[in-house]
Amino acid sequence: MNALSLADYLGHTARSFEVSRVIVLWEEEEEPHLNIATWENGSYRHTREMAEAFGSVITSQNYANATFWTNDAASRFLLMPDGPIRLESPILDARFTRAFQIQSVGTAPFVGNLCKGRVYILDTQSWSNFQLLMVQVVASRIGNQLDRQIMQLQAKEAAAVKERIRLTRDLHDGILQSLTAANLQLSLLSEGDGKETQARIDMIQKLLTGEQARIRRFVRMLPPSFPGRDVGLAESLRPTLNETARQWACQTSLSVEPQEATVSAALSDQLSLMLAEAVANAARHGKASAVDVLIKKTNPDLVVNIRDNGNGFASPAFTCDDKDLATFGKGPVSIGERVRDLGGSLGVVSSPAGVELQIRIPL
């Protein structure tokens, strides 16, 4: 449901009760605002006020969940399904009645899973028990529709958050790692001779040019490849490994079983970012000089083993499975998040002789 369908529903309610105005007030879980939807003479409006703008609206807690009608909101007489009653003070908060110039009103509450509130049918001259029953039905349906609206909005927000996390991770594993490598090459310029200095300058220029293209893809929101196309694992991943090895001045090797194994281009992109991050971590943090990658395509999983000869993590030797890594935050966080997003698992074996990443991804 969206705002327009709620407007249509309130318009239909107004026509059914032959009134010119309908108001819905509701609060949502963990939201500090009072939502106000009004339909008046064919015009719909949705606004927000602070939760206490009209007090509790219903002044008597004894009737907070009651359905009733009154022909004078300032009076102390109500018509309820069980008959008329007399109160010690008006049932509606004076701030509410003044704000909307309420005289006669029939109202019923609703309580959804994610919201609660009331619908107010205004400007009726008389009410029957049947009409009071109908306003209860209307209130219940509005509560259900608002629940669906809130759930749809929450789903959209969750999807947006997930996409921001994905983009942040891709920036970290791709662009930021390459820029860090470029910075390392700059710091080493003063240590080389003329020929070596020129080689480092050429590498830095290539790094920056490549990241310019990557940033343009992010800005344009274009995928790096065609996600519907299958690509060879060896052919698609070897350039990434070779380039990352040059950036971090280490050796890499890649073995794929079977040699002709293919995966979707989308999965290949994810694997490329994982390998680039793994090599950068091994060389930068573990001082590794070699990283070996073995990939086996089996049924129904893709198994990726990444082993380096660095000095391991800065803690005693340990072996962690995916659950331990997620619980205690050990190991390569970015790679672990990327693997879990693909429905896979990550194991880590760390010792002073190096780190081994054991990745399993369902195909």
Asked if domains 3-155 and 229-363 share a fold, the reply is: no
Q: Where are the domains of the chain?
A: 3-155, 229-363
Closest residue by Cα to residue 111 from 80, 76, 146, 83: 146
Give the largest Cα separation in the chain, rounded: 99
Closest residue by Cα to residue 243 from 332, 178, 168, 308: 178
Closest residue by Cα to residue 104 from 137, 77, 64: 77
Domain 229-363 has CATH 3.30.565.10: yes
Specify the pTM: 0.50
- Per-residue pLDDT tens digits for 76-134: 899 888 889 999 899 999 999 999 999 999 999 999 899 999 999 999 888 888 999 99
d(CA 231, CA 311): 34
Q: Contact at 8 Å (CB) between 104 and 72? A: yes
Domain 3-155 has CATH 3.30.450.40: yes
Per-residue pLDDT band for 153 (boundaries 50, 70, 90) equals confident
Which two tokens mark 303? 């198994």
Beta strand residue intervals within 156-300, DSSP E: 230-232, 251-257, 262-264, 290-297
CA 193 to each of CA 61, 223, 283: distance values in angstroms, whole numbers, following the listed order: 85, 40, 23
| Residue found under tokens 């200095």 | 197
Question: Is residue 14 predicted with pLDDT exceeding 90?
Answer: yes
Phi/psi-derived region of residue 291, left when phi > 0, alpha when psi is between -120 and 50, beta in every other case: beta
Question: What's residue 2's pLDDT?
Answer: 45
Which two tokens mark 305? 């083993």
Which two tokens mark 163? 């996409």
- Per-residue pLDDT tens digits for 165-219: 666 666 656 666 666 666 666 666 656 566 777 776 776 666 666 665 666 555 5
Question: What's residue 185's pLDDT?
Answer: 62
